[in-house]
């Protein structure tokens, strides 16, 4: 049982580290990319069975 508690604490610490705000970047906006258009194509997979 103590091993599970220790593992839980380690995972919580790792999660907190990964979610830290100071490590996140602001990302890019569409305007920052310098593109005029964005084309998205969708494909539907059909199976006959």
What residue spans define the domains of the chain? 1-49
Rg of the chain over Cα atoms, rounded to whole angstroms, equals 22
Say what the pTM is. 0.41
pLDDT for 15-41, tens place per residue? 888 887 666 667 778 788 888 888 887
Cα-to-chain-centroid distance, residue 5? 27
| Phi/psi-derived region of residue 27, left when phi > 0, alpha when psi is between -120 and 50, beta in every other case | left
pLDDT of residue 44: 74
Identify the helix (H) or strand (E) that includes residue 12: helix 2-18
Give me the residue label for tokens 């199976």.
47
Cα-to-chain-centroid distance, residue 6? 26
């Amino acid at each position: 049982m103590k091993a599970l508690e220790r593992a839980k604490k380690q995972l919580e610490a790792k999660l907190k580290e990964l979610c830290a705000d100071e490590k996140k970047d602001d990302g890019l906006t569409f305007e920052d990319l310098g593109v005029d258009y964005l084309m998205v194509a969708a494909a539907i997979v059909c199976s006959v069975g």
